Amino acid sequence: MKLEGRVWIFKDNDINTDLIYPGKYTYEPLSHIEQAAHAMEDYSPNFSQEIKKHDIIVTGDNFGCGSSREQAVTCLKYAGIDAIIASSFARLFYRNAINSALAVVECPQLVESLFEKVEKADSTRTDFSLTIDLTKGTIISESRKFSFPPWDEQAMEIFKSGGLVEFTKQKLSGQQS
């Protein structure tokens, strides 16, 4: 399964769930679309206005640390993000992303390569794109190929189903083996 999109670079480590989705909205009954309007607003205030469908975030270590709030994943997904590539992820964020069918990939070599290309230390929307092959475990960036461990079969099934809820519904109804 391949994903291709325009790249945003967040050249920081430890971007926590409060920066991804502000805590002040956590207990508000907002729809996924309303949540998307607040994606990254405390980190990059114009992000939700500038994001385009299929965009990809590239970031440093421990992305999604902090609380395990699911809105940190859903706000990015419904804002239009197709994938996040990081040096590493907080485990709860990583699992929430797979459960919500948001592609997450750990590829420190790609992150290092792209960080070298950007001078600013804040969020940067770039004019180049990446192609990610989740099945083969490869990323193509400006004709360079980077590798990462491909997703296992169950993670791919959850992703292709549209998330864990849909995957479970399909399993219970006998639509999947």
Give the tens place of pLDDT for each residue, 129-173.
Answer: 999 999 999 999 987 999 999 888 999 999 999 999 999 999 898
Q: What is the pLDDT of residue 5?
A: 95
Distance in angstroms (rounded) separating the CA atoms of residues 9 and 115: 8
Q: SS in 3 state form for 109-132?
A: HHHHHHHHHCCCCCEEEEEEEEEE
Q: What is the pLDDT of residue 8?
A: 94
Nearest to 85 by CA among 161, 137, 153: 137
pLDDT reading at 176 higher than 70: no
Distance in angstroms (rounded) separating the CA atoms of residues 41 and 100: 21
pLDDT reading at 177 higher than 70: no
User: Which numeric CATH code is attached to 2-149?
Assistant: 3.20.19.10
Give the tens place of pLDDT for each residue, 23-66.
Answer: 999 888 999 999 999 999 999 999 999 999 999 999 999 999 99
pLDDT reading at 174 higher than 90: no
Distance in angstroms (rounded) separating the CA atoms of residues 87 and 60: 5
